[in-house]
Structure 1
Amino acid sequence: MKTVFRCVPSLACTLALFASLIAAAETFADEPAQLAGVSEAVHKFVESKEIAGAVTLVADEKQVLHLDAVGMADVAGHKPMRADAIFWIASMTKPVTGTAVMMMQDEGKLSVDDPVEKYIPELAELRTRDGKKANITIRHLLTHTSGMAEISPEEARKATTLAELMPVYAAKPVGFEPGSKWQYCQSSINTAARVVEVVSGMSFVEFLDKRIFGPLGMKDTTFYLSDEQLSRLAKSYKKTGDTLEEADLFILGGKKPTSRDRFPAANGGLFSTAGDYARFCQMVLGGGEFGGKRYLKPGSVKLMTSIQTGDLKTGFTEGNGWGLGWCVVRKPQGPTEALSPGSHGHGGAYGTQAWIDPEKKRIYLLMVQRSNFPNADASDVRRAFQAAAAR
């Protein structure tokens, strides 16, 4: 028996129809538009096997303007890339660490000009190679001008907490007078995160969850994936000749993404989605406020996202300076040509990239997982995405 419903013209029927139209409009509004040319620009690199797949996102302070997934998350498993795919974002973790430090400065618990030894006594004996005392400040840590030495992969595998890393760092000589040179430094960022632990009384994981990720609704941003999140992790690849082969995530040191038997790598250990990281960027673009909640003072956002390294040559592409955990575009060129001066963000080792353009009020996010770009910060994929997205 087939039941047919007829709507007799009435006020109730008219209101029901109106309500359904509103619901449909709201549903459509929740589905971000696709900006012309962005997906096509990135898909060319899928077809040429430069990458297996990608997620692209463009947003302003209030809403997502573009979100799309192209290619495959798992080539052998025939799994298409999804918009909510999870990526190892590597050094895109560093701006999060810088933000955590600035939150503590806003609360009066530290100053970025404080000596690091004030909070981590083990580092009081740090010396340069010629035996001089290394007077390292938190500012030096976040601008990659500390000169601190790196640890070996074996030393990293043994540590399960940030606290365990400090004596290892303390035993190594500083490479140059702090503040005199820019040299990309993983140990300094992890040290900055340890300072956050000391002054907040929380583990770095707990701090980020309670103060940043939870309030911002970044439900898929973590150092340690759940089993469900693991099922959405995009596989990493390296290009060998004309083919793509699966690649390991070296940050894990041979351990699983779900394993908690490793320290929370504040220098580059986070996993995230495009949607999650966009929320973080929207907070920063909003001057430290998002969804009616303030996370940072506007002055603190300006400080950390403006150049703090003077005339020092910095970065892996030309025309950039460094803020407090952030790369800052001084003179747009090459892969940053489509951005405005003062744009800030960070890339990741496997090709991910986030830029915030404060002049255009735009956020640009590219999520890919390829391990052996000749220079991930200057990859052709990144150039093509940026040029298309910033039109």
Structure 2
Amino acid sequence: AGLSEVTSQESGDIATLKELMPLIVAKPVKFAPGSKWEYCQTSINTAARVVEVVSGESFPDFLDKHLFQPLGMENTTFYPTEKQATRLATAYKRTSAGELEKTGLMFLGNKPITSRDRYPRANGGLFSTAADYEKFARMILRGGELDGKRYLSEKAVKQMTTVQSGDLKTGFTPGNGWGLGWCVIREPQGVAATLSPGTFGHGGAFGTQAWIDPVKKRIHLLLIQRADLPNSDGSDIRKAFHEASAK
């Protein structure tokens, strides 16, 4: 959409998505919508605010009421409880010497993990588990339905998981395009060579990766808690994971 990013420093004291919006609209548009592709955190947060305005509910409450609780995702939240916080995997980053050291979660700032005094980052603020995410992924794989209950229309799921970026050059791996919030594999290659064309998913800032293969009817979930992990880094791990999970 060409929206400019809002930095963590600029949004440090923001507690709601509503408060975030003036910071976004004050920024210049970087390019005309549809003329270029760029990964944008601001776009997802804007979409989350649209959900709030249309539904009349906060984004966390909307997700909890319409997705998480009905799906049985009891450990998925923007704001972990004290008990949930004790189960959080430790995050690490690589030092200049090539060693791993503990690191914090950058989007928390200096606030405790249980603090609700921060806006719900739709671009990457949820905490979850493999078991919870598998339920969500299985629902998407089944076209928006799970265990006899429909959560999304088949048309909506199809629209989200179909390439919307046209012939524009996109990230982050050659052979990929982008739908609405999902990366879509057009030409499987590299660490994703064992996946089918049309597989869709998304990675995370700490190395997580989810792929949903609609041809083979498989879900691949890789959870890592390491900061500064670009796609090329850890490729041996990702390749071994995909090869093992494809068997």
Q: TM-score, normalised by structure 1?
A: 0.61
Say if 1:223 and 1:270, in contact at 8 Å, map to a contact too. yes
Question: What residue number does 1:204 align with?
Answer: 59
Question: What residue number does 1:162 align with?
Answer: 17
Question: What residue number does 1:229 align with?
Answer: 84
Q: Which amino acid aligns with 2:61?
A: E
Question: What residue number does 2:179 align with?
Answer: 323
Question: What residue number does 2:223 align with?
Answer: 367
Deviations 1:154-211 (A, max 9, x none): 2221210000011111111000111110011011100000000000110001000000
Deviations 1:30-64 (A, max 9, x none): xxxxxxxxxxxxxxxxxxxxxxxxxxxxxxxxxxx
Rounded Cα–Cα distance in structure 1 between residues aligned with 2:111 and 2:190: 37
Pick from 145, 166, 174: which aligns with 1:310? 166
Question: What residue number does 1:276 align with?
Answer: 132
User: How far is 1:376 from its partner?
Assistant: 6.2
User: How far is 1:377 from its partner?
Assistant: 7.6
Say if 2:164 and 2:180, in contact at 8 Å, map to a contact too. yes
Say if 1:373 and 1:379, in contact at 8 Å, map to a contact too. no
User: How far is 1:379 from its partner?
Assistant: 3.0
Q: Which amino acid aligns with 2:10?
A: E
| Residues 377 and 239 of structure 1: CA distance in aligned 2, closer, same or farther (over 3 Å) | closer
CA RMSD of aligned residues (A): 1.2
Rounded Cα–Cα distance in structure 2 between residues aligned with 1:329 and 1:264: 29
For structure 1, the residue ranges without an aligned partner over 5 or more in a row are 1-145
**What does 1:87-126 align with in structure 2 at a 5 Å threshold?**
none
Secondary structure of 1:364's counterpart equals strand
Question: What residue number does 2:122 align with?
Answer: 266
Say if 1:287 and 1:298, in contact at 8 Å, map to a contact too. yes
Deviations 1:139-163 (A, max 9, x none): xxxxxxx110011222221210000
Secondary structure of 1:209's counterpart equals helix
Secondary structure of 1:272's counterpart equals coil
Matched, 1:385 2:220: no
Rounded Cα–Cα distance in structure 2 between residues aligned with 1:376 and 1:248: 23
Matched, 1:176 2:49: no
Say if 2:8 and 2:107, in contact at 8 Å, map to a contact too. no
| Residues 208 and 377 of structure 1: CA distance in aligned 2, closer, same or farther (over 3 Å) | farther
Question: What residue number does 1:334 align with?
Answer: 190
Question: What residue number does 2:146 align with?
Answer: 290
Rounded Cα–Cα distance in structure 1 between residues aligned with 2:38 and 2:217: 30
Calculate percent identity across the aligned residue pairs: 63
Say if 1:349 and 1:376, in contact at 8 Å, map to a contact too. no
Secondary structure of 1:283's counterpart equals helix
Secondary structure of 2:107's counterpart equals helix
User: How far is 1:317 from its partner?
Assistant: 1.0
Count matched residues: 246
| Residues 262 and 228 of structure 1: CA distance in aligned 2, closer, same or farther (over 3 Å) | same
Larger-gyration structure (1/2): 1
Say if 2:144 and 2:150, in contact at 8 Å, map to a contact too. yes
Rounded Cα–Cα distance in structure 1 between residues aligned with 2:234 and 2:40: 19
Q: TM-score, normalised by structure 2?
A: 0.96
Say if 1:317 and 1:378, in contact at 8 Å, map to a contact too. no
For structure 2, the residue ranges without an aligned partner over 5 or more in a row are none
User: How far is 1:389 from its partner?
Assistant: 0.7
Secondary structure of 1:345's counterpart equals strand
Secondary structure of 1:156's counterpart equals coil
Q: Which amino acid aligns with 1:208?
A: L
| Residues 155 and 227 of structure 1: CA distance in aligned 2, closer, same or farther (over 3 Å) | same
Rounded Cα–Cα distance in structure 1 between residues aligned with 2:54 and 2:109: 29
Rounded Cα–Cα distance in structure 1 between residues aligned with 2:98 and 2:122: 34
Secondary structure of 2:62's counterpart equals helix
User: How far is 1:249 from its partner?
Assistant: 0.6
Between structures 1 and 2, the one with greater helix share: 1
Secondary structure of 2:194's counterpart equals coil
Rounded Cα–Cα distance in structure 2 between residues aligned with 1:327 and 1:347: 9
User: How far is 1:354 from its partner?
Assistant: 0.5
Rounded Cα–Cα distance in structure 1 between residues aligned with 2:37 and 2:147: 36
Say if 1:340 and 1:359, in contact at 8 Å, map to a contact too. yes
User: How far is 1:224 from its partner?
Assistant: 0.6
